[in-house]
Amino acid sequence: MDTLPPTGPVASDTGCHGGRETMLEAARAAGKGEAMERLAADYPKGPHDQPQSMCPAFGSLRVGLRMKRVATILSGSACCVYGLTFTSHFYGAKRSVGYVPFNSETLVTGKLFEDIRDAVHATAKPEDYDAVVITNLCVPTASGVPLDLLPKEINGVRIIGIDVPGFGVPTHAEAKDVLAGAMLRYARGEAEAGPVARPRNVTEGEPTVALIGEMFPADPPGIGALLAPMGLSLAPSTPCREWRDLYAALDCVVAAAVHPFYTASVREFRAAGRPVVGSGPVGVEGTAAWLDAIGAAAGLPASKADAAKQCFLPAIAAALAGNRVKARVTVSGYEGSELLVARLLVEAGAEVPYVGTACPRTEWSAADREWLEARGVHVQYRASLEQDLAAMKDANPDLALGTTPLVQKAKELGIPALYFTNMVSARPLFGPAGAASLAGIVAAQTGQAERMKRMVGFFQGVGTPDGAGYGFRDKPSDPPGFRERQRKIRAAKAKAEEAVGT
């Protein structure tokens, strides 16, 4: 086998602590310029340079681990791989994650690529797998490890190499799209080249709609029921659960970008000649507009969408009327469904002054943004934690939906709060079921406002930075002279640093 030329020296010089710009420059110098430009175009940055959620590679790792007969191998720093595998198993992964370790020598001499190639060959067993996914994390990406030189298939097993660096992909939600898009591109090439494996549970000749985005398990059947009066059914959702599902998804008549940040996936559906529709069937107005858009994109007469609306809009309206939300709610998160949740809350009667999403502004969320802004809701794309916190403090809501640090801060302030990912995304959102799902949790949480205030009063001053720790019998207090001693220590340290010119 040929030995590759040396890759960039980022690992030996700066490692993954070199900073975003240093890593980007190293990646470009090592031949990854085109890949970094593609990531920058697909996932434009926000006001903050680095992700404020977990490592983005968790998203692509999650997609691979949820698929049948797909092996996943990571190439990156050991600490990163440990954290990613820990988080993946915490979230229910039941399969091993492969790891190709490296050191400065194997990285800069090109031996790491040979190790990756050997690992892929050893893993690609057709009796076990349909595909092997190998992912470059930050340091291998910055060093230019060329996964595109791996064979495209080994013994009939597809080989998919992707770069998912933290300095190039803003959030783990968008990293799901990196792998989903790469798989769709591979599957599209197979389908265009000739016959492919028949997908399971697909009726021949029946027009389908493919949903883009990870959703609560009950939502796809609910959406399928909405589409049935139009003569449409659902294709497998993207990200898929099995390789052959990719063919069925691409064979749809319309793709629905329910989660609007799947830029690479949308590109593949468009390349396959499929129209793409944004938003989703939330509430009465959202469902009506979405059914009209799906019908028009599928080339159906307006009467088809009208028939579906007549079947379901009264039920959705009744569910909203029977589950009113009388509260001020701020919404923030990084799942991509934040605007849809806010729409549903507004239709249910809630006052929603602010919606923040870590995901970027795209054309697929335009209808939701315009609808919300017309009702006085401020929509913040690429929202930072600081923006979400400022909005929560300014609005003083009855309930704050958000990320873990926002929920923590809300409870410190005595504001009822819920973690968006686990408590809101884990419930139905669409159709009549979605219309009835949020009122209960909002009522349950806002009913605890007085209890939250009592807790804040009870713990006032305890557990804050100066009073943290254990072993106190009474309210923690500073030892005599503590602050003055600390002030002198800081002054002496500053003087010493100044004396040596640092």
Bridge partner residues of 233 (DSSP): 208
CB atoms within 10 A of CB 245: 24
Going by C-beta distance under 8 Å and a sequence separation of 6 or more, which residues neighbour residue 266? 212, 255, 257, 276, 364
Average confidence score pLDDT of the chain: 89
* CA proximity to 383, closest of 59, 44, 48: 48
Fold matches, 208-315 and 323-457 = yes
Going by C-beta distance under 8 Å and a sequence separation of 6 or more, which residues neighbour residue 468? 476
Helix axes 219-227, 302-322, angle to 10 degrees: 130
**Contact between residue 177 and residue 161 where contact means Cβ atoms under 8 Å apart:** no
Reading phi first (left if > 0) and then psi (alpha if -120 to 50, else beta), residue 329 is in beta
Report the alpha-carbon distance of residue 389 to residue 392 in Å, rounded.
5
- Average confidence (pLDDT) over 295-301: 96
Q: Which residues of 128-143 are buried (b: 16+ CB within 10 A; e: fewer)?
A: ebbbbbbbbbbbbbbb
pLDDT tens readout for residues 391-423: 999 999 999 999 999 999 998 888 999 998 888
Report the alpha-carbon distance of residue 388 to residue 403 in Å, rounded.
9
**Contact between residue 234 and residue 223 where contact means Cβ atoms under 8 Å apart:** yes
**Dihedral, 153, 158, 161, 166 alpha carbons, nearest 10:** -170
**Contact between residue 100 and residue 119 where contact means Cβ atoms under 8 Å apart:** yes
**Annotated domain spans of the chain:** 10-170, 208-315, 323-457
**Dihedral, 82, 84, 86, 88 alpha carbons, nearest 10:** -150
Report the alpha-carbon distance of residue 45 to residue 40 in Å, rounded.
7
Whether pLDDT at 192 is above 50: yes
Whether pLDDT at 361 is above 80: yes
| Angle formed at CA 111 by CA 37 and CA 158, multiple of 5 degrees | 60
Task: Give the homologous superfamily in CATH for domain 208-315.
Answer: Nitrogenase molybdenum iron protein domain (3.40.50.1980)
Of the candidate CATH numbers 2.40.70.10, 3.40.50.1820, 1.10.10.10, 3.40.50.1980, the domain formed by 10-170 belongs to 3.40.50.1980
Bridge partner residues of 143 (DSSP): none
3-state secondary structure 192-226: HHCCCCCCCCCCCCCCEEEEECCCCCCHHHHHHHH
CATH class of 323-457: alpha beta
pLDDT at 92: 77
Report the alpha-carbon distance of residue 34 to residue 45 in Å, rounded.
17
CB atoms within 10 A of CB 230: 23
pLDDT tens readout for residues 147-184: 999 999 999 999 999 999 988 899 999 999 999 999 99
pLDDT tens readout for residues 236-290: 999 999 999 999 999 999 999 999 999 999 999 999 999 999 999 999 999 999 9
Query: Phi first, then psi: what are they for 401, rounded to 5°?
Result: -100, 125
Share of the chain above pLDDT 70, in %: 91
pLDDT at 17: 61
pLDDT tens readout for residues 21-60: 788 888 888 888 888 898 889 998 876 655 566 789 999 9
